[in-house]
């Protein structure tokens, strides 16, 4: 019933133009960076080896800018910790503002660095069921128009896209499960997969929650089917959550068996210490967490295409535990994640030294 999953390597092909990393260092800034931020960051951030992880490291990201500021202020220890985040590729989340321009800027910068963009769609109507990240497109028609703008922004450049974190699991678990809303959401997710898969070099993963949310993989099979998993390259697990990599792999393998052997990716951005046990809103800015495995396509598991940092480490989950608005950069939380991560050396790992030009 389902097509076999295309491997990540085949999906990429040769990762676009070799306009050389020098072009990136000459001044490509992040979409949300102040003018000139990218050029300043070039001296502190370099691309990871393609053979380890082919995704673009943004030299103008929040962690890179914070590390430069701290270093300039003489806080070298803080800067060193933040480079554990700054030196890794993290996803760009596409919201309602300037979808075409945002997608184009990120994919162009990635292509200029001979890397691939990692993007997240996050604008489904009734997003987050009215919780901390509430919002989304005003209607199904508005969402489809927004989606088309993103597709035009990506064009023929290489990109991997995670489709709508939480949208499917919220629907399955009942948080956004009114019959009319449920049917519309499945159609919109399927439309997103179909539209993106028309692009020549775009890999697509449907978000499927995490092992502690919808615990029965069988409960996700039909919803994933209705949301277009057959046409997608696979599904994503643990986005913005803290479940261990081992539990995600076990859960993902069971789910894969129910959806035609589809491959999957795991968000390891903040799962180094696993989830916080007990208490309310354990998913929202929990203390004592740590960065997880660095992004890589070398997972050692045939079905696991990559470990990715989909949630941007250091950005708040919402206004809980003293945190700012969801998605806002929170340097103290970023520092906690980095300090609690043993053995992380960010961009300074041996693989980066040995394979810088790969």
Active-site residue 148, yes or no?
no
Q: Within 10 Å of residue 26's Cβ, how many Cβ atoms? A: 12
Which entry of 58, 114, 166, 207 is annotated as an active-site residue?
166
Hey, which bits of the chain come out as E strands?
A: 92-94, 117-121, 159-163, 202-207, 234-237, 263-267, 304-308
Active-site residue 128, yes or no?
yes
Which entry of 58, 70, 128, 305 is annotated as an active-site residue?
128
Distances, alpha carbon 216 to alpha carbons 7, 27, 199, 305, in Å: 26, 47, 33, 22
Tokens describing residue 182: 């449920």
User: 34-41 contacts: CB < 8 A, separation 24 or more?
Assistant: 37/65, 38/109, 40/65, 40/68, 41/65, 41/68, 41/86
Dihedral sign, CA of 298, 300, 303, 306? negative
Active-site residue 166, yes or no?
yes
| Cβ contacts of 89 within 8 Å, gap of 6 or more | 48, 53, 55, 56, 57, 58, 115, 118, 295, 308, 309
Quickly list H helices, 119-269. Answer: 140-154, 167-173, 179-197, 218-226, 245-258
Distances, alpha carbon 75 to alpha carbons 61, 71, 82, 98, 115, in Å: 19, 5, 11, 36, 31
Tokens describing residue 123: 């604008």
Active site residues: 128, 166, 317
């Amino acid at each position: 019933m389902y097509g076999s999953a295309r491997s990540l390597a085949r999906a990429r092909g040769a990762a676009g133009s070799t306009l050389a990393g020098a072009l990136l260092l000459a001044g490509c800034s992040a979409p949300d960076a102040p003018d000139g931020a990218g050029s300043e960051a070039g001296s502190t951030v370099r691309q990871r080896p393609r053979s380890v992880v082919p995704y673009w490291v943004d030299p103008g990201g929040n962690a890179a800018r914070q590390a430069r500021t701290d270093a300039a202020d003489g806080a070298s220890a803080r800067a060193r910790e933040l480079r554990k985040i700054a030196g890794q590729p993290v996803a760009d989340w596409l919201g309602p503002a300037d979808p075409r321009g945002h997608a184009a800027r990120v994919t162009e910068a990635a292509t200029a660095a001979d890397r691939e963009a990692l993007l997240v769609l996050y604008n489904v109507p009734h997003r987050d069921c009215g919780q901390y990240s509430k919002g989304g497109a005003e209607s199904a028609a508005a969402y489809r128009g927004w989606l088309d703008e993103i597709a035009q922004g990506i064009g023929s450049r290489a990109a991997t896209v995670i489709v709508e974190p939480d949208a499917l699991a919220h629907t399955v678990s009942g948080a956004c499960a009114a019959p009319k809303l449920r049917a519309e959401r499945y159609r919109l997710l399927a439309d997103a997969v179909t539209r993106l898969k028309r692009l020549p070099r775009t890999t697509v993963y449907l978000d499927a929650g995490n092992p502690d949310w919808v615990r029965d993989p069988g409960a996700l099979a039909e919803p994933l089917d209705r949301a277009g998993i057959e046409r997608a390259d696979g599904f994503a697990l643990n986005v913005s959550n803290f479940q261990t990599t081992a539990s995600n792999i076990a859960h993902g393998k069971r789910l894969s068996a129910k959806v035609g052997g589809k491959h999957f990716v795991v968000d390891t951005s903040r799962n180094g210490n696993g989830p916080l046990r007990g208490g309310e809103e354990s998913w929202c800015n929990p203390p004592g967490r740590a960065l997880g495995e660095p992004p890589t396509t070398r997972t050692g598991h045939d079905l696991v295409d990559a470990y990715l940092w989909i949630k941007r480490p250091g950005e708040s989950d919402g206004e809980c535990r003293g945190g700012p608005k969801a998605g806002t950069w929170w340097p103290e939380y970023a520092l906690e994640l980095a300090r609690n991560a043993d053995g992380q050396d960010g961009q300074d790992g041996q693989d980066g030294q040995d394979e810088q030009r790969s």
